[in-house]
Chains A and B, each alone.
Chain A
Amino acid sequence: MTTMLYTSDHEWLAIDGDVATVGITDYAQQQLGDVVFVELPKLGRVLKKAEAAAVVESVKAASDVYAPISGEVLATNPELAAEPALVNSDAQGKAWFFKIKIAEKSELGGLMDEAAYKAHTA
């Protein structure tokens, strides 16, 4: 069963066992506007929590996507690299950025559930 968690930087995590799938929230894509380029982390890269892991660029500006938790990058989304506009059309579905092997389960405790995230963006 998948659990959804969120960060205050507007990333979502779908937790499935010891793997987290990471993307940016619908709220974040609305703020960014039309996404024209996405840079994804290299496979096998070991990310530390809060370090810049990916980049999402709109016509106007570039924004970092931070690693919400520590761990190794297991997969990145080839469809997203080919079609960055997926972020606008399906931010919390097809437009996942990368999958990460959860290094420290305890880091999940600092993340928000859906209700808390909704309150955060209200």
Chain B
Amino acid sequence: MLAPDDQKSLKRTPLYDLHVSLGGKMVPFAGYDMPVQYPAGVLKEHLHTRASAGLFDVSHMGQLRLRPKSGKVEDAARALERLVPQDIVAIAPGRQRYAQFTNEDGGILDDLMVANFGDHLFLVVNAACKDADEAHLRANLADACEIESLAGRALIALQGPKAEMALAKICAAAPAMKFMDAGSHEVAGLACFVSRSGYTGEDGFEISVPAEDAERLAKMLLENLDVMPIGLGARDSLRLEAGLCLYGHDIDTTTTPVEAALEWSVQKSRRTGGARAGGFPGAEKILAHFEHGASRRRIGLRPEGRAPVREGALLFADTVTGEPVGKVTSGGFGPSLNAPVAMGYVPAALSALGTKLFGEVRGQRLPLTVAAMPFVKNTYKR
């Protein structure tokens, strides 16, 4: 529990009043007073998102613009490649890509989305890291880019199989967009940035809107009976079922992208032998992990019983040996699977699908199996 003083210093998103009026249960998260759930509850909110559509306030996240001083977006892309192991130059106008800021040890400072808006790059970063990310960008890219924090914008995610239908009513461009398309579009006549992406494993959109218009837009979307407001609780269970990393839990400054099983996010052009190999912080270690493998790996886990095996639970190779082999970094109950799910790190030798492990819960070692992620099939519109 937070002391009253801390409660007072919590920031509010432009949708705070709406959350309260909808009966949101407000909790501190990354310095913001955020709804963890609404009266429907985490279970119903989760299932509704997978069956219909959910509206999430993610305005606490950081939105940044990188404008190339040369006027050529490729120069901003080249500059950003100094800080991330992704191919940013190859992101076509109107497209978005998942990336990570790495540190000199090959660890991850934050994960982010990078979109090419034609004449500039648009970045979305994690709430807890946004100030550090902005400072990092200013310290390293100031020669090539104007760096602008878009603090005056809210961010609304609309996720689920009925998200397209709901958004199409007020955004003509929405239906034609494909997964990871991103650009400036009018939504209800407002100047928005829309991407077809999200954090649930479902088809859906993220809509950046000027703060002063955010509540009006959210209410307009919520007028649709298919759309229900969703809190952070279900956001977490949805992303866990989708096998998506939560920064500060499943990835952090001690995990490389290879250890984190994020190889897919590092394009060949940045790997050894590629056109622009290396040249990002920690390249030596990360490229060595690509070449020789990492000693540990992030894996999905399915506990056998119904008991959730949560973050921090130690993992063991058997029921008797003293030394743990790894740790759960995210774990809980997956409402769509009606079963517990988890992810964590284990030695590479124990990371093969089907490997039997044990997770320690309240002094008991519960059997679990290394399982493929996502746990729930994603429904992205490719």
Contacts and interface: CB of A to CB of B under 8 A. Distances in A.
Given A39-B307, A55-B362, A58-B42, A33 B333 contact: no
A89 to B, nearest CB: 12
B237 A59 contact: yes
Contacts of B236: 60
B351 interface: no
B362 A60 contact: no
Interface string A10-35: 00000000000000000000000110
Given A57-B333, A59-B42, A36 B233 contact: no
B42 A62 contact: no
Contacts of B310: 61-62
B43 A59 contact: yes
A59 B42 CA distance: 7
Contacts of A84: 306
Interface string A79-102: 000001000000000000000000
Interface in B44-86: 44, 46
Interface string B22-44: 00000000000000110001111
Nearest to A34: B43
A37 interface: yes
Given A55-B362, A59-B237, A36 B41 contact: no
A37 B362 contact: no
B308 interface: yes
B332 interface: yes
Contacts of B41: 33-34
Interface in A41-84: 55, 57-62, 84
B335 interface: yes
B42 A34 contact: yes
Given A55-B362, A59-B233, A37 B42 contact: no
Given A36-B335, A59-B333, A60-B36, 9 more contacts: A33-B41, A33-B233, A34-B43, A36-B43, A36-B308, A57-B333, A59-B237, A61-B310, A62-B308
Interface of A: 33-34, 36-37, 39, 55, 57-62, 84
Interface of B: 36-37, 41-44, 46, 233-234, 236-237, 306-308, 310, 332-333, 335, 340, 362
Closest 9 CB pairs of A and B: A34-B43, A36-B333, A59-B42, A59-B333, A60-B233, A34-B41, A37-B306, A33-B41, A37-B307
